[in-house]
Amino acid sequence: MEDANGIITLENGHPIAPDFPVIPFIEGDGIGPDIWRAARLVLDAAVAAAYGGRRKIRWKEIFAGEKGFRVTGSYLPPETLAAIKTHVAAIKGPLTTPVGEGFRSINVAIRQQLDLYACVRPVRYIDPVPSPMKHPEAIDMVVFRENTEDLYAGIEWPADSDAAEEVRTFLKSRLGVALPPDSGIGIKPISEKNTKRLVSRAIAYALENGLPSVTLMHKGNIMKYTEGAFRAWGYAVAREVFPAQTITEAALYEQYDGSLPAGKVVIKDRIADMLFQQVLLRPREFSVIATPNLNGDYLSDALAAQVGGLGMAPGANIGDACAVFEATHGTAPKYAGMDKVNPGSLILSGAMLLEYIGWKEAALRIPAALQRTIAQGTVTYDLARQLPGAEKVPCSEFARAIAEKLADG
């Protein structure tokens, strides 16, 4: 499709890409530049392999994080957010966030300001990546983590602040709740609207991809009106929006003796701590998992470890108007500029981007080429230390090996 501006548009929520779309990228801090260079090489090779010269991405650099501050004087310039909105899909490397002090997370700010409410993290095993599991191939899950609220909403005050004192006084005088005077305070909002749109997207994904279940992960036995409400609203949206295509676990056993009728998705729920056990012990029972923000952050890293670590875990932040694709891991500052780390996570996030814009032929080639590269024993340090006999190569060389496989077809 011709489009002089290269602008991706949305039709009924589905992105429609021109043949030469402009896609913004943020290089990222720390290892960001190394993994972005590697990912770009592989993404361009996948598009060329799938479409010849008929389609090509026109990458456009936008700025955030430390480079953003150097170039524009701002860690998150408004032009960056505007460019993501305009171009609908963007990709980013990791950005630094100081712990316990300094500015709030730029990653969280991007997600909140663009209302990218679904953090989507597929976790699949790529043979023969070393894994601590006996049967890592049994893990094939997609985590839908709510991305805009919960304890990540950023509503918190240090123990010695006037605001914390005011909140403590309010709680004591109006609600009869006494807190120790040296308590820092954070607020955990979970809303019906944000829960329902997240769970709705998770169910739609399960239906589109023929997946058997959506599990609502929560800690509702303890946090009844936040996590418990997430569970209740999750079931409610399944009933309201997908009445014919969903069935609860209880109804499945009562009516169908536990065997899922074709075309239906079972909606079940698990308490968070128990789910951590079950994804280890019985991973085949879970396909899509929908969960509030904090649970989702913990679970997706734990699942990533089960299939071989953060170096291979992709992610996307998706809203109704745009999406930002990013690696699950951080900036790994001790490896910055060393051309050393595994770019697999950002490469696979890029494959998700290609799928999002409808370029499935290119997207599908990437995991296959990555798998063949690892299987032939060409790997970065993180995999080499667990794969006896493998050849340890730099980040850039690993990417070149994948790109060559893509070119070979």
Annotate each residue in 265-304 with x if it binds ligand NAP (CB under 6 A) or - if it does not, as one string: ----------------------------------------
Among candidate residues 29, 34, 297, 382, the one labeled active-site is: 297
> Residue 323 corresponds to which tokens in the numbers above?
């999406």
Of the candidate spans 89-97, 158-166, 229-237, 244-252, the one that interacts with ligand NAP by CB under 6 A turns out to be 89-97
Contacts of 226 (CB under 8 A, 6+ apart): 150, 188, 189, 190, 292
CB-based burial, 157-183: b 16+ in 10 Å, e otherwise: beeeeeebeebbeeeeeeeeeeeeeee
Nearer to ligand NAP, 98 or 388 (CB): 98
- Pick one of 96, 194, 349, 378: the residue that binds ligand NAP (CB under 6 A): 96
Alpha-carbon span 269 to 215, nearest angstrom: 5
Nearer to ligand NAP, 190 or 332 (CB): 332
Of the candidate spans 88-96, 190-198, 201-209, 266-274, the one that interacts with ligand NAP by CB under 6 A turns out to be 88-96
Q: How far is the CB of 29 from ligand NAP (least distance, A)?
A: 7
Q: How far is the CB of 406 from ligand NAP (least distance, A)?
A: 20
Q: Is 297 a catalytic residue?
A: yes
Angle between helices 395-408 and 32-51 (to 10 degrees): 0
Q: How far is the CB of 31 from ligand NAP (least distance, A)?
A: 6
Nearer to ligand NAP, 200 or 293 (CB): 293
Q: Is 273 a catalytic residue?
A: yes
CB-based burial, 294-322: b 16+ in 10 Å, e otherwise: bbbbebbbebbebbbbbbbbbbbbbbeeb
Q: How far is the CB of 79 from ligand NAP (least distance, A)?
A: 19
Among candidate residues 75, 117, 125, 152, the one labeled active-site is: 152
Which 331-350 residues touch ligand NAP, going by CB under 6 A? 331-333, 341-342, 345
The answer to whether residue 107 forms part of the interface with ligand NAP (CB under 6 A) is: yes
Q: How far is the CB of 185 from ligand NAP (least distance, A)?
A: 22
Q: How far is the CB of 53 from ligand NAP (least distance, A)?
A: 31
Which 29-48 residues touch ligand NAP, going by CB under 6 A? 35
Q: Would you give the DSSP letter of residue 132?
A: S
Q: Is 154 left (phi over 0), alpha (psi -120 to 50) or beta?
A: left
Measured over the CA atoms of residue 152, residue 309, residue 285 and residue 207, the dihedral's sign is positive
Q: Is 219 a catalytic residue?
A: yes
Q: How far is the CB of 17 from ligand NAP (least distance, A)?
A: 24
Judge if the upstream peptide bond of residue 33 is cis by omega within 30 degrees of 0. Answer: no
Q: Is 165 left (phi over 0), alpha (psi -120 to 50) or beta?
A: alpha
- Are 326 and 26 in contact by the 8 Å Cβ rule? The answer is no
The answer to whether residue 95 forms part of the interface with ligand NAP (CB under 6 A) is: yes
Q: Is 205 a catalytic residue?
A: no
Size of the site for ligand NAP (CB under 6 A): 18
Distance, CA of 171 to chain centre: 36
- Pick one of 18, 94, 136, 292: the residue that binds ligand NAP (CB under 6 A): 94
Edge-to-edge strand list for the sheet holding 265-271:
58-61, 22-26, 89-92, 323-327, 314-318, 118-124, 140-146, 288-291, 213-218, 265-271, 246-248
The answer to whether residue 310 forms part of the interface with ligand NAP (CB under 6 A) is: yes
- Pick one of 219, 233, 382, 399: the residue that binds ligand NAP (CB under 6 A): 382
- Are 246 and 191 in contact by the 8 Å Cβ rule? The answer is no
Could you list the active site residues? 152, 219, 273, 297
In the complex, which residues of this chain contact ligand NAP (CB under 6 A)? 35, 94-97, 107, 310-311, 326, 329-333, 341-342, 345, 382
